[in-house]
Amino acid sequence: MQSATYDAIVVGSGITGGWAAKELCEKGLNTLCLEAGRPIDPAIDYVEHVPPYEMPYRGLGDRRQLERYQPVQKDCYACDEWSGKFFVNDLDNPYTTPDDSPFSWIRGRQVGGRSIAWGRQCYRWSDLDFEANARDGVGVDWPFRYRDIATWYDYVERFVGLQGNPEGLGHLPDGQFLSPFPLNCAEERLRETVRQRFGGERVVTHARVAILSRPHNGRQACHFCGPCERGCATFSYFNSVHVTLPAAQATGRFTLRPFSVVHSVIFDPRTRRALGVRVIDANTRQVIEYRARIVFLCASTLESTRILLNSATPEFPDGLANSSGVLGRYLMDHIMGGGAYGVVPWLADRKTVGTARSGFYIPRFRNVRNVHADFQRGYAFQGRAYRIGWDRGRSGAGFGADFKSSLTRDLGPWTFRIYGFGEHLPGAGNRVSVDPALVDAWGVPALRIECRYDENARRMLKDMVVTATEMLEAVGATEITPIEENNPPGLVIHEMGTARMGRDPKTSVLNGWNQCWDVPNVFVTDGACMASTANQNPSITYMALTARAVDHAVELMKRNEL
Amino acid sequence: MHRREAVQLLGGIAAVPFLPRAADAAAALAERVHRAVQAGARFRTFGAAHQALVSRLADAIIPATDTPGALDVRVPEFIDHVVTDWAGASERRALLDGLDDIDARARQAGAPGFVALDATRQARLLEALDRDRDAPAGAGHAFGRIKSLAVFGYFTADAVQRDVLKTVMFFGAYDPCAPL
């Protein structure tokens, strides 16, 4: 069945799909946004103020249902009793991995995608990152430099509402910041101690988060309730449901179609352009074709690549736009889980009032000015200081009236958590392909995912333990407990690559404008486009690249080149 | 629960030194235990003996003071709910076996079960169980699990969240360094 024709189709309604839809609509294009999952109504679906006693398991989660239907998703901290509904059913959405190398593919199929439960941390990349591949001879060179996208960072940050403290660091550029939530007094002491003891090489700054510290663009400031990943009644953190999609809607040129599983891109061999996309209605299983002049794939890193792989034609037998043969290859995810905990004896008479979901950030300091002997590239720490409260009584010693009184009135010592996120180098062996034997609940061929961390990443993780411990010792912490996790790739949910950008159509899928070399009216602007991971959280870069790609696409259309 | 066990339960509880000694407090405690026992129909995994034991343990861990105790907010029922619908089969088995081990320890001391121990010996056994709370199995393990669930169940209960912790979900401002 063939349906209406649009100027543009956007596949996906998450972080990048929301931005693509907003920008396309605002530039005058009638835009269809296709979302595989259900609609979201903030008034019904946001549950951040539902107290634990209204939940059947008080927040422990319905473990049997999780183990049965979400055995992969449940490993994400945000997939809890409240927010589990923002994560997919793993039985409906299968994939395979080699027996010896699991990959946690964490997904959100609903309007808003993973932007509802995302981590909200936003850090610009710099030329330390964009030049790295060329400098090290690893992967392919990024087709642009920081100066080419700096104004696009400005553009998206102004709309998003990003808080941060300007630090003037060359390798972590400042942005368009709202004033940050203050560090709490324990974090402030860590900042000062690290400044004095590590000679300016290490910096403890305010986490840069997409949470409003004051009213912004018609949205209200944060009210410090805490669990952002459950939604936000005041629209204070950024997601596509209550920020970009309403902006698209306001243009009158926006059509959102949920329950629309995109199977493949329709390719016209005569014009060598995409005609549109082939959709399976998630409820009726009816196949519908939608047509448009341009297609933006914003379905998430692996879903966008999966669509291209499933769009093979006689001209592109290994996947659409894959004349290079690198489609599906160079999958990466940050490595996380090195660091340390520690407790401090001071400030026992102080607490926070309200929960600020920001904390501190320690930008990369390895391989910035000096060369580290053990590994290439670097890592950053995210962390916070907090007082545990009554929860410490679940495992601590004691019982009886004094125990109860202590848990009720005291909060326990300030605890620091310093937790690292490091770069993962691109490797051709880390790849996705179409599993020949498996389809999902809608009959769409599923992925086989092969991804392993390399020795470089593992050495970096060990160094995270060392340097986090050094900083905790400097601040006078005791009971320092190393964190040295062995997480499967994917669990950071910063999966990147598989349709990388580059300067050469022989070695990359996308050009410097997120445009397929082979099929110029198809753009991929989510994490699939990435040629390296840096160590910064990638979402703000996806947003900047998406807005930039839309601007370029519309310019090409105006010049009748698309 | 048989009447004889209930009497033993009350006798044991009323004399424990870290609980209120005043007669009215003891009466209030007896009333709470009575309610816990009467609520037996809501227990799906714990039989009568386990109900009495878990209730006694929960009350010992979080007694009523100037604020409600574990029994006031139905912590034993919550523990039964978690053990029934949340725990895995092997975890449930380990907990029930461990509870039986607690009673076995009491029998070594000459009582029919933990709840029938006199106050001094109950307190002494609780101290020993608490030291052994991280054990992978046995009496200490069961106590550790009951304690973890009792603390969680208590502090997430409606009345405790509202009236004791006074949990707020809407703050006008964030104070990063407030007096405790």
Whether residues B177 and A352 touch (CB distance < 8 A) is answered with yes
User: Helix, strand or coil for residue A457?
Assistant: helix
Residue among A51, A63, A404 whose CB faces B63 most closely: A404
User: CB neighbours (10 Å) of residue A436?
Assistant: 9
Label residue A176 left, alpha or beta by phi (over 0 means left) and psi (-120 to 50 means alpha).
beta
Mean pLDDT is lowest, of A210-214, B85-89, B109-113, for: B109-113
Q: Using one digit for the tens of pLDDT, what is the confidence trace for A429-464?
A: 999 999 999 999 999 999 999 999 999 999 999 999
Q: Is 0.90 topped by the overall pTM?
A: yes
Q: Which residues of A touch B131 (CB under 8 A)?
A: 397
Note the pLDDT of residue B42: 84
B91 strand-pairing partners: none
Name the pairing type of β-strands A379-387 and A414-422. Answer: antiparallel
- CA-to-CA distance for A21 and A33, rounded, in angstroms? 7
What percent of the residues of chain A are helix, what percent strand, and what percent coil, each to the nearest 5? 25, 25, 50
Q: Using one digit for the tens of pLDDT, what is the confidence trace for B120-151?
A: 999 999 999 999 999 999 999 999 999 999 99
Whether residues A350 and B65 touch (CB distance < 8 A) is answered with no
- CA-to-CA distance for A197 and A189, rounded, in angstroms? 12
DSSP string, A306-325: HHHHTT--SS-TTSTT-TTS
Q: Which residues of B touch A183 (CB under 8 A)?
A: 176
Rounded to the nearest angstrom, the gap between the alpha carbon of residue A102 and the centroid of all alpha carbons in its chain is 20
Note the pLDDT of residue A4: 77
Q: Which residues of B touch A349 (CB under 8 A)?
A: 179-180
Residue appearing with tokens 């300030």: A414
Residue among A53, A57, A223 whose CB faces B161 most closely: A53
Q: Using one digit for the tens of pLDDT, what is the confidence trace for A63-119?
A: 999 999 999 999 999 999 999 999 999 999 999 999 999 999 999 999 999 999 999
- CA-to-CA distance for A303 and A277, rounded, in angstroms? 14
Name the band, by pLDDT with cuts 50, 70 and 90, for residue A200: confident
Q: Is the dihedral of CA A56, A61, A67, A68 positive or negative?
A: positive
Q: Which residues of B touch A226 (CB under 8 A)?
A: 169
DSSP string, A111-177: TTGGGSS---B-----HHHHTHHHHHT-S---SS-HHHHHHHHHHHHHHHTEE------TTS---SE
Mutation to test the B interface, candidates A47, A49, A53, most B Cβ within 10 Å? A53
Tokens of A329: 């290859």
- B22 touching A, CB under 8 A? no
Note the pLDDT of residue A30: 98
* Helical (H) or strand (E) element with A287: strand A287-297
Note the pLDDT of residue A1: 60
Whether residues A62 and B86 touch (CB distance < 8 A) is answered with yes
Mean pLDDT is lowest, of A343-352, A477-486, A529-538, B4-13, for: B4-13
Note the pLDDT of residue A159: 98
Q: Using one digit for the tens of pLDDT, what is the confidence trace for A289-331?
A: 999 999 999 999 999 999 999 999 999 999 999 999 999 999 9
Q: Which residues of B touch A57 (CB under 8 A)?
A: 82, 85-86
Name the pairing type of β-strands A31-34 and A254-257. Answer: parallel
